[in-house]
Structure 1
Amino acid sequence: MTEYIVPYQDAESEFTEKRSRFITHLYKVETEAEARARIEEMKKKYYDARHNCWCYLLQEGGVVRYSDDGEPQGTAGQPMLNVFQRQEVWNVCCVVTRYFGGVLLGAGGLTRAYTKGATDVLTAAGIARMGLWTLWDVPCTYPLLERMKLEVAAAGGVVRDAEYG
């Protein structure tokens, strides 16, 4: 995959549905550890909330994870994940915090609410298309190969392959 879509920036959105308050945070992440750290950060920040449902998708390795965090199975994490999969957005971590308002939403209502939270926050964040900018052939002698790899990495580049002759 030479081109993929990521969130443009971190974002937050909030709405109320039948007195339940839904607070959504979206983060750009590169690793699973970074995604887990963001999830833990939200759980600590909103420790008194009834639910902190989350999902994340990572382009490298195709890692996809989600959690309903006590909501009925398939009504929170999976609908949020579906929003990002339909838009083909990668390297994203989304956490929706729910403060229960006393009115049961039912499975359909929960699914719609968590989908709305993910959709709203993705709209707020915007999207960016990541892709290969330019491809260069850099001839060098074998003793300079490691030095050249370090210089390319320092400039934010990637050495895709090497041909020895």
Structure 2
Amino acid sequence: MKTIKQTYINELNIKKSEFICRLIPSTNEKQAKEIIKQISEEFKDATHNCTAYIVEDGEGYDDNGEPSGTAGRPMLNILKKNNLQNITAIVTRYFGGIKLGAGGLVRAYSKSVQNTLETAEIVEMEKYQTVQLIFSYTIIKNVDNEIRNHNLRIIKKEYVEDVKYIIALLDVKLLESIKSKLQNQIRIISLGEKFLEKQ
């Protein structure tokens, strides 16, 4: 899966109208809608805040008062053409007094998103299973060896009463191997799936 590394903003001026595109990483519809709401409120003085998003649990777009099919859908098409996911695009337009016509609007909103993508760092993501390992200080060396041997990713380490690691793995079967090697001296809690940058 490809997505953007961080938020990107780019401005485009066409016939005195200002188009400000924001591309924001987002993982689900709830998050995408919250981002859209926040930006739309922040720039409520704009003529339009048109949007498109593709996330894990769906996709959507909104022309926000522009003629139907001239803004949100073309923006979504650009995201799809670039094979992007987990991304929300918002183009804020300040009308400059010159009408662009339907074709001109489609081109303007498409170009606004495409130009911004050209400034963005695109990253390849993979879906990992994340788990928490809880174990005593006495077996840290053994656990570290197992993690190294299986080439697993450590996301977080915590040294409290027990040692707690959050690790990411592509194959859950590896956990059984770790568990049997450490003869149940380790507690494993599943934390679900998470997209992480490909290594």
**TM-score, L = length of structure 1:** 0.81
Identify, as 1 or 2, the structure richer in strand: 2
Give the whole-Å Cα distance in 1 for the aligned partners of 2:81 and 2:189.
37
Give the match for residue 11 of structure 1: 8
Q: Does 2:108 correspond to 1:68?
A: no
Give the whole-Å Cα distance in 2 for the aligned partners of 1:39 and 1:138.
40
Give the match for residue 96 of structure 1: 91
Give the whole-Å Cα distance in 2 for the aligned partners of 1:82 and 1:148.
42
AA of the residue aligned to 2:86: N
Q: Which deviations, in whole Å up to 9, do the C-alpha atoms of 1:98-131 show, x marking residues without a partner?
A: 0001000001100000001111121222210112
Query: How far did residue 45 of structure 1 move?
Result: 1.5
**TM-score, L = length of structure 2:** 0.68
> Given the alignment, which residue of 50, 54, 63 partners 1:53?
50
Query: How far did residue 134 of structure 1 move?
Result: 4.4
Identity between Structure 1 and Structure 2 (%): 37
Give the match for residue 137 of structure 1: 174
AA of the residue aligned to 1:46: F
Give the match for residue 127 of structure 1: 122
Larger radius of gyration: 2
Give the whole-Å Cα distance in 2 for the aligned partners of 1:65 and 1:10.
19
Give the whole-Å Cα distance in 1 for the aligned partners of 2:22 and 2:175.
42
Q: Alignment partner of 2:174: what SS?
A: coil
Give the whole-Å Cα distance in 2 for the aligned partners of 1:38 and 1:64.
14
AA of the residue aligned to 2:54: L
Q: Does 2:87 correspond to 1:87?
A: no
Give the whole-Å Cα distance in 1 for the aligned partners of 2:116 and 2:123.
14
Give the whole-Å Cα distance in 2 for the aligned partners of 1:113 and 1:126.
22
Contact 2:29/2:59 (<8 A) preserved: no
Count how many residue pairs are aligned between Structure 1 and Structure 2: 146
> Given the alignment, which residue of 100, 107, 116 partners 1:105?
100
Give the whole-Å Cα distance in 2 for the aligned partners of 1:123 and 1:96.
15
Unaligned runs of 5+ in 1: 158-165
Q: Alignment partner of 1:94: what SS?
A: strand
Give the match for residue 25 of structure 1: 22
